[in-house]
Amino acid sequence: MTFVPPNALGPVARAGAGVGKRPSVSFEFSPPKGPKSEASLWEAIRRLEPLNPTFVSVTYGAGGSTRDRTHRTVVRMLQETTLKPAAHLTCVEASREEVDEVIRDYWDAGIRHIVALRGDPPGSLGGAYTPRPDGYQNATELTAGIRAIAPFDVSVGLYPQVHPESPSVDHDIDVLKAKIDAGATRAITNFFFDIDGYMRFIDKVRKAGVTIPILPGIMPVSSFEGLSNMSRRVGVTVPGWLSNLFEGLDEDPETRKLVAASVAAEMCARLAEEGFSDFHFYTLNRADLVYAICRVLGIRETGPSPTEAAA
Ligand code: FAD
């Protein structure tokens, strides 16, 4: 049966009809810094949980700085929700033994999915990375290390605009293939705004023989200044049309939110038209934008959509 989002218009409706598959989503959160942010994180988790994401992931701070908080958050998700949590893990400033201990702790706690990343040097995102001699050198080695310990589902990072340290797209694709050979089962991309560029990139990756699922990373952001800073540091281009949309809205957070939600929903709809049906959202620990975008995509609380129920 073809899934058509109820009451949707234009590309959104075409996307649902064209793909013939209900979009599936995953959500990324960061561990809370303190009791106040813990409360707002859990409010967001509870709001998004009924949308039945494929998985939710929790990031790992620079240099393992959030090791315990990431662990606590994923374990609480496992124990208190219906969600399937994935724990991010990096190689930064840790020996193999230390990282292996974290991996074993996750397995013992019932976590079955790790997002394996090299990480960035603490305090200088975008700066030069020096691996520890006794540590995992990169995400490829980390993936192999994880799989050697237990049969985890392992997701890895991918960069539609090329990783800032990489000499070329071809090099990034070779690295991805090495990660897959090491046991990676899924790639999640960095955020991006150039959809045509994204599709050219994915075509290239597929032509190189990569068949694992690749989830486009979607960043719905209502702080344009924050987005610009982050984008600069991770080598993502912010297009002129996006800055035009936010121009003059510095003092108008409500409109910025509406703009952010509609841009991200439009991106997802366009990607869905092109055959993509899985989306990974960087939530920044807030539910409102992501919840609205999911509604526009026709994703409802668990259970059949009204259209499916009526069919
Ligand atoms: P790698 O895949 O290891 O690549 C890094 C460099 O190492 C590449 O330029 C490549 O040249 C080289 N390399 C890797 N493998 C090989 C190989 N087999 N042969 C030769 N060279 C190789 N950071 C955090 O600190 N915490 C997080 O929770 C976090 N979550 C993220 C989630 C997603 C979805 C993404 C896309 C990124 C995330 N990051 C996170 C950021 C990430 O740590 C940085 O982008 C980092 O600079 C690179 O990580 P990576 O795993 O892609 O590195």
In this structure, the residue with its CA closest to atom 32 of ligand 1 is 157
pLDDT tens-digit profile of 39-90?
999 999 999 999 999 999 999 987 777 889 999 999 999 999 999 999 999 9
Asked if the model's pLDDT at residue 16 lies above 80, the reply is no
Q: Is 49 a catalytic residue?
A: no
Asked if the model's pLDDT at residue 22 lies above 80, the reply is no
Q: Is the separation of the CB atoms in 38 and 31 below 8 Å?
A: no
- Sole residue written with tokens 């290390």: 145
Q: Which has the closest alpha carbon to 157: 129, 181, 179, 128?
A: 179
> What mean pLDDT do residues 108-134 have?
86
Q: What contacts 92, CB < 8 A, 6 or more positions away?
A: 62, 63, 64, 118, 119, 120, 121, 122
Average pLDDT of the chain to the nearest whole number: 89
Ligand 1 site, residue 52, Cβ cutoff 6 A: no
In this structure, the residue with its CA closest to atom 35 of ligand 1 is 157
Identify the residue with better confidence: 130 or 11. Answer: 130
How much is the pLDDT for 120?
86
Instruction: Please compute, for residue 159, the number of CA atoms within 13 A of its CA located in the half-sphere on the CB side.
Output: 20
> What mean pLDDT do residues 276-293 have?
96
pLDDT tens-digit profile of 86-110?
999 999 989 999 999 999 999 999 9
Asked if the model's pLDDT at residue 205 lies above 80, the reply is yes
Ligand 1 site, residue 31, Cβ cutoff 6 A: no
CA 59 to ligand 1: nearest atom: 28
Ligand 1 site, residue 163, Cβ cutoff 6 A: yes
**268: phi > 0 → left, psi -120 to 50 → alpha, else beta; which?**
alpha
Ligand 1 site, residue 120, Cβ cutoff 6 A: yes
- Looking at the structure, give the CATH architecture of the domain made up of residues 11-310: Alpha-Beta Barrel (3.20)
Asked if the model's pLDDT at residue 34 lies above 60, the reply is yes
How much is the pLDDT for 309?
54
How much is the pLDDT for 126?
59
- Sole residue written with tokens 């998700």: 77
In the chain, % helix, strand, coil (3-state, to 5) comes to 50, 15, 40
Asked if the model's pLDDT at residue 19 lies above 50, the reply is no
Alpha-carbon distance of 107 to 102, in angstroms, equals 9
How much is the pLDDT for 311?
57
- Sole residue written with tokens 């996750």: 106
Identify the residue with better confidence: 302 or 293. Answer: 293
Asked if the model's pLDDT at residue 14 lies above 60, the reply is no
pLDDT tens-digit profile of 128-137?
788 899 999 9
Contacts of 231-237 with CB under 8 Å at 24 or more apart are 232/126, 233/125, 233/126, 234/125, 234/126, 234/164, 234/190, 235/126, 235/159, 235/161, 235/162, 235/163, 235/164, 236/161, 236/190, 236/191, 236/192, 236/193, 237/161, 237/193, 237/194
Confidence category of residue 266, pLDDT binned at 50, 70, 90: very high
Q: Which has the closest alpha carbon to 271: 214, 229, 309?
A: 214
pLDDT tens-digit profile of 132-191?
999 999 999 999 999 999 999 999 999 999 999 999 999 999 999 999 999 999 999 999
Q: Which has the closest alpha carbon to 121: 90, 89, 155, 146?
A: 90
